[in-house]
Chain A
Amino acid sequence: MAIIHIDDREFTANPKDNLLQACLSNGFDLPYFCWHPALGSVGACRQCAVRQFANPEDTTGRIVMACMTPATDGTRISIADPEAVSFRASVIEWLMTNHPHDCPVCEEGGECHLQDMTVMTGHAYRRYRFSKRTHRNQYLGPFVKHEMNRCIACYRCVRFYRDYAGGADLDVYAARNNVYFGRAEDGVLENEFSGNLVEVCPTGVFTDKTLSAAYNRKWDMRSAPSVCVHCGVGCNTSVNERGGQVRRILNRYNGAVNGYFLCDRGRFGYGFANRPDRVRTPVLRDPGGSMRTATRTEALDALTKTLGTGGKIIGIGSPRASLEANFALRRLVGADGFHAGVSAREARCLATAIEILQAGAVPTPTLREMEAADVVLVLGEDVADTAPRVALALRQAARGRSMEIADRLKIAHWQDAAVRDAAQGARSPLFVASVAATRLDDIAARTCRAAPCDIARLGFAIRHRIDANAPSVEDLPEAMQALAGEIADALLAAKRPLIVSGCGLGDEAVLRAAAGIAQALNGADRLPGIVLAVPECNSMGLALMQGGSVEDAIDTVTEGATVIVLENDLYRRAERKRVDALFDAAANVIVLDHVSTATVARADIVLPSANFAECDGTLVSGEGRAQRSFQAVFPKDDVQASWMWLRDIAGTSEWHRLDDVVRSLASAMTQFVAIGEATPPGDFRIAGSRIRSEPHRYSGRTAVDADRTVHEPRASVPEESPFSSTMEGYYGQMPASLIPFFWAPAWNSIQSLNKFQDEVGGALRGGDPGVRLFEPNGAAAPRPDATAPGQFVRGPGQWFVVPRRPIFGGEELSALAPAVAERIAAPSLALNPADARSLDVENGGMIDIDFKSGSYRLAVTVAPELPSGVAMLSVGLPGMDWCALPGWGTPRRAEPAP
């Protein structure tokens, strides 16, 4: 720790930080624009000027930029120095020469960093009397709005999009006061992290287009801490609500997980919650077969009647429902009757993943730890699609080599431009073994394309190279041998090697190969980590709960049974005809869900579940981190949390609130003993108050229903919650898992986050949210006997088809969001050029492909990198039937309909 002097008072600082970080971490309000805690310093905006003195005797000093000056021991600066104060006001005055003065019509207004900094510097009077320059705005796609006239040229957007996220289609053009930030031409921003521009931009150039469609000010929205439901990474979010609708998703900083950034699926996937066709009321099937909406009482009566018959009950849970909902179902139907609601293959992969992570010896790192990995091997998982935020973390890990070069030249890591100039994009080794091209290839030292079994074989060969006692791989081609050697050498040369794999290919051998490498590295005294991507937001939690697959449910269903499906569309889990058979056999089909699905359409009784924004619940991420999300939307109809419906069905009365369920679960299943620690209990109060979920400036409460009633609407009072649903209550320093929104005096924008961190860029005060449910116990080193599968042999006239779940469209809920729907590409079958030629089809041509489970007609995408005999099918897209993948298919050129 360094001692620094700020305006003649002594403070501590991290000597590796710059003075801006040090000032902010010590609670000072020093304005800034171009610096960003994750992006470092470039000294462009000149907003954080302070006066620095050489020593205690120096009374003259000189003006320096705090962000460009190290916080070395003994540093003496003045923030209050009159010239520094005046200079900082001047910077705003310059920025304002071209900035519009129409905050009231700007969507950033009220949460604008530029507004905050303007007020902070005291600049208030306009002396510039000339015209302002104007720009043309661009269409940037369904997510982000562009208003270039508001630009203050801080360069953050390009530094995030291009330098941090690896985007290629946003840049800066022209020069002087005419610089322009945008695409080369109008068009959709291609990078899947584009939504972060909304938060990175300090003013209203880049704003959330989905919010814009039904706009509200930050102060007019209720907010609750939430967890993203669109993949298994577990990014923390804030849900913003107004008028009973989700209005937007913001990043909620978690130093260990998502840090400052979300992917676009996570940010813009919420639209499913507002769909007009969502399930809002109970629905009953009349004896005649037609469906009608029903009251809550009618529905519960019907349920009582149905379940009173005493037949067999099969419960099918869901990886997109909370732990509490799944547990409630499990308790209702019993452990034997409970099914996890995923396909058998996925269940096997998840079980393997859990075995590796729990009983292995290698820990799975947090995202922050991933960023510190010095060599990365991505084995058979396209994380850019299946766990996008992990891909962004790996992109930062690859910069490790640049940081080593910077260290050698004594350049501080926060000197972003200097590090980039010195290192010229030097990257730590990152290897990608995949079936097809991935969006990490651009930073990969080597890529390898192979069939899943050959990817596993490469993995086993690497393991053998690291640990000679591990079995060798027979008949490995020379090129693969060499690559295995190269990768093994790189991993062995690393201090913190990282192996990344996952369930994406549906191949356990790939998972075992990844585990084997990690295990071998552990034995070689490295500090390896292993990351296994899981498909959905609670895949890990559900797998920990154990239960049969959907196929098991189908196999065990007996005529006359009752089937209860929890927030799950079984047509996405198993073959259509087999799911039909299940529903045909069942006497009663009860479905709890919030979105309308094919499964809902088969129900006899539909119960309207609360979605992630409408109830509290716990999810377990792929890291094994249990995290709680809280209610932001209070529906006025019969919608309630699934666990409540299931409680009501069971007629049990000991569960009044979520904490009761959590307690039951923790005592019933040891693997969940810690979940209560994810967040303080519902009766948590600060100075006797709940935490308010609406900002104190919330307006119009008495007016929102004024067209119907003059009475102020009654606030919904959550039974037991740390939050009040209104603007009444406490707001200040609260437990990290209970921060509904970031706001601090003088800091109205999301950058007020600085005030909630231990030190800027560090953990949230009191520790980052969430509790890890397991650490590896080493009980069973992953199957030391595991050996490599045989090598890929292409079938005669057949192709081995592997699945790809595209970031946009591959996940069920986000695909229902209108903004995301615009980004979904049509389903297609990818083939390599020679294979396409052999089938006499060209890029874009149509093909019929037969699987055991059925046939598809698809457009062909020619993908040069695909291995011969292997095809890739984008799956999970709306309207596509489930297909048993990976598996063999027989394609032929589609004959046009006569």
Chain B
Amino acid sequence: MSIVETEAGLTAEQRAAIEAMAGHYDDKRAACIEALRYVQGHYRWVSDRHLAEVAALLDMSRADLDGVATYYNLIFRRPVGEHVIFLCDSISCWVMGREAVNAHLCKRLGIQPGETSKDGAYTLLPIVCIGHCDHAPAMLLDDELHGDLDAVRIDTILGIQP
């Protein structure tokens, strides 16, 4: 599966959902991070077009919203794969051997951290501690937490027969 190119604008339903989020705050813009993550939930990443639409919905300028979007680690302003692997690179995981896990992932996916596999299935990114230190090394595969990683576990998770 290839990376989704979002030519289409947000649907009426999505726009309504974002407006509802804005209702939780005294100031509309407070919903912007939530809204960007919501958009990302549907389109995997935030395109320029969607960014502009969210900005308009929340009475923000594009520059202003992009300043926010590019600040946070979990907002993607470039296309990502069908699945995103966030491999923890913080201390406990490092002590417990995340470099080897990282190397294995890179080998299996044929990419370096920050890249998306050729088939568009996986994007590999480092992430700071995800609070799974008692099962280090750990990673998030989309919104699922996986711990005690090693080459075998990785292959199982990726559905690769050793």
Chain B binds chain A: yes
List residues of A whose CB falls within 8 A of some B CB.
162, 168-175, 180, 183-185, 424
Beyond known contacts A169-B61, A184-B62: 20 more, CB 8 A cutoff: A162-B64, A168-B61, A168-B63, A168-B64, A169-B62, A169-B63, A170-B63, A171-B63, A171-B64, A172-B67, A173-B66, A173-B67, A173-B70, A175-B70, A180-B70, A183-B63, A184-B63, A184-B66, A185-B48, A424-B27
Residues of A within 8 A of B64 (CB): 162, 168, 171
Please indicate which of the listed interface residues A172, A173, A175, A184 has the most CB atoms of chain B within 10 Å of its own CB.
Answer: A184
The interface residues of chain B lying within 8 Å CB-to-CB of A185 are: 48
Chain A's closest residue to B55 (CB) is: A184
Which B residues, 27 to 49, have Cβ-Cβ distances below 8 Å to chain A?
Answer: 27, 48
A608 to B43, CA, bound (A): 65
Closest partner residue, chain A, to B62 (CB atom): A184
Q: Would you give the shortest CB distance from B137 to chain A, in whole angstroms?
A: 24
- Tell me the minimal C-beta distance from B22 to chain A in angstroms: 16
Contacts A/B (CB < 8 Å), 25 sampled:
A168-B63, A169-B61, A169-B62, A169-B63, A170-B63, A171-B61, A171-B63, A171-B64, A171-B66, A172-B67, A173-B66, A173-B67, A173-B70, A173-B71, A174-B70, A174-B71, A175-B71, A180-B70, A183-B63, A184-B48, A184-B62, A184-B63, A184-B66, A185-B48, A424-B27
Question: Which residues from A are CB-within-8-Å of B66?
Answer: 171, 173, 184
Q: Chain B nearest CB: distance from A160 CB in Å? A: 14
Q: How many Å lie between the Cα of A432 and that of B48 in the bound state? A: 34
Q: B75 CB to closest chain A CB, in angstroms?
A: 11
Name A's interface SS: loop
Q: Write the chain B residue with the least CB distance to A161.
A: B63
Instruction: Please determine whether A171 and B67 come into contact, CB atoms closer than 8 angstroms.
Output: yes
Question: Looking across the interface, which residue of chain A has its beta carbon closest to that of B67?
Answer: A171
Within 8 A of A (CB), among B49-64: 61-64
Query: When chains A and B are docked, how far (Å) is the Cα of A168 from the Cα of B59?
Result: 11
Residues of B with C-beta under 8 A to A169: 61-63
- Residues of chain B within 8 A (CB-CB) of A170 are 63
Within the complex, the shortest CB–CB distance from B57 to chain A, in Å, comes to 16
Q: How far is the CA of A424 from the CA of B71 in the complex (A)?
A: 21
| Smallest CB gap from A182: residue in B | B63
| Least distance between A148 CB and chain B CB atoms (Å) | 14
Contacts of B48 in A (CB 8 A): 184-185
- Chain A residues, CB < 8 A from B63: 168-171, 183-184
Closest 9 CB pairs of A and B: A168-B61, A171-B63, A171-B67, A173-B70, A184-B63, A184-B62, A174-B70, A184-B66, A169-B63
Q: How far is the CA of A169 from the CA of B70 in the complex (A)?
A: 15
Contacts of B27 in A (CB 8 A): 424
Contact string, B67-83, partner A, CB cutoff 8 A, digits 1/0? 10011000000000000
Of all chain A residues, the one with the shortest Cβ separation from B64 is A171
Q: Least Cβ distance of A664 to chain B in Å?
A: 55
B residues in contact with A184, CB < 8 Å: 48, 62-63, 66
- Nearest opposing residue in chain B for A173, CB measure: B70
Cα-based distance from A507 to B48 in the complex (angstroms): 45
Distance in angstroms between the alpha carbons of A168 and B62 in the assembled complex: 8
Q: CA A890 – CA B127 in complex, angstroms?
A: 66
Bound: A180/B63 CA distance, A = 12
A175 vs B27: C-alpha distance in the bound complex, in angstroms? 24
Tell me, in angstroms, the Cα distance from A89 to B128 when the chains sit together: 33
A172 to B64, CA, bound (A): 8
Which B residues are in CB contact (< 8 Å) with A173? Answer: 66-67, 70-71
Cα A612 to Cα B27 in complex, Å, equals: 49
- Bound-complex Cα distance A173 to B70 (A): 6
User: Contact string, B124-136, partner A, CB cutoff 8 A, digits 1/0?
Assistant: 0000000000000
A184 vs B70: C-alpha distance in the bound complex, in angstroms?
11
Given the complex, which residues of B lie within 8 Å of A174, measured CB to CB? 70-71
**Nearest B-chain residue to A174, judged by Cβ:** B70
Q: How far is the CA of A175 from the CA of B71 in the complex (A)?
A: 5
Most-contacted residue by chain A among B48, B63, B64, B71 (CB, 10 A): B63
Report how far A185 CA is from B63 CA in the complex, Å.
Answer: 9
Report the separation of the CA atoms of residues A185 and B48 in the bound assembly, to the nearest whole angstrom.
10
CB distance from B21 to the nearest CB of A (A): 19
Cβ contacts under 8 Å, A171 to chain B = 61, 63-64, 66-67
B63 to chain A, nearest CB (A): 4
Closest-by-CB residue of B relative to A425 is B27
Select the residue from B27, B48, B66 with max chain A CB neighbours within 10 A: B66
Q: Could you tell me the distance between the alpha carbons of A180 and B64 in the complex, rounded to whole angstroms?
A: 13
Q: Shortest CB–CB separation between residue B18 and chain A, in angstroms? A: 19
Of chain A, the residue at the smallest CB distance from B72 is: A175
CA distance A422 to B66 in the complex (A): 24
Provide the bound-state CA to CA distance between A174 and B78, in Å: 13
Query: What is the distance, in angstroms, from A423's C-beta to the closest C-beta of chain B?
Result: 13
Nearest-CB distance from A514 to chain B (Å)?
31
8 Å CB contacts to A: which residues of B1-40?
A: 27
Chain B residues positioned under 8 Å from A162 (CB to CB):
64
Q: How far is the CA of A171 from the CA of B61 in the complex (A)?
A: 10
Please name all residues of chain A whose beta carbon is closer than 8 Å to the beta carbon of B70 when the two chains form the complex.
173-175, 180
CA distance A683 to B63 in the complex (A): 53
Nearest-CB distance from A503 to chain B (Å)?
33
Interchain CA distance A174-B48 in the complex, whole Å: 16
| Residues in A whose Cβ lies below 8 Å from that of B61 | 168-169, 171
- CA A501 – CA B27 in complex, angstroms? 33
B96 to chain A, nearest CB (A): 26
Q: Report B-chain residues with C-beta under 8 Å of the C-beta of A424.
A: 27
How far, in Å, is A172 (CB) from chain B's closest CB? 5
The closest CB in chain B to the CB of A185 belongs to B48
**A180 / chain B contacts, CB cutoff of 8 Å:** 70
User: In the complex, what residues of B have CB within 8 A of residue A175's CB?
Assistant: 70-71
Contacts of A168 in B (CB 8 A): 61, 63-64
Minimal beta-carbon separation of A139 from chain B (angstroms): 15
Distance in angstroms from A188 CB to nearest chain B CB is 13
The CA-CA distance from A234 to B63 in the complex, in Å, is 33
Cα-based distance from A173 to B61 in the complex (angstroms): 13
B7–chain A nearest beta-carbon distance, Å: 18
Q: How far is the CA of A392 from the CA of B71 in the complex (A)?
A: 30
Report Cα–Cα, A574/B64, bound state, in Å.
46
Closest approach, in angstroms, between the C-beta of B105 and any C-beta of chain A?
A: 24
* Chain A residue, CB-CB nearest to B26: A424
CA distance A162 to B61 in the complex (A): 11
Name A168's closest neighbour in chain B (CB-CB): B61
Alpha-carbon separation in the docked complex, A316 to B115 (Å): 72
- Smallest Cβ distance from B34 to chain A, in angstroms? 19
Residues of A within 8 A of B67 (CB): 171-173
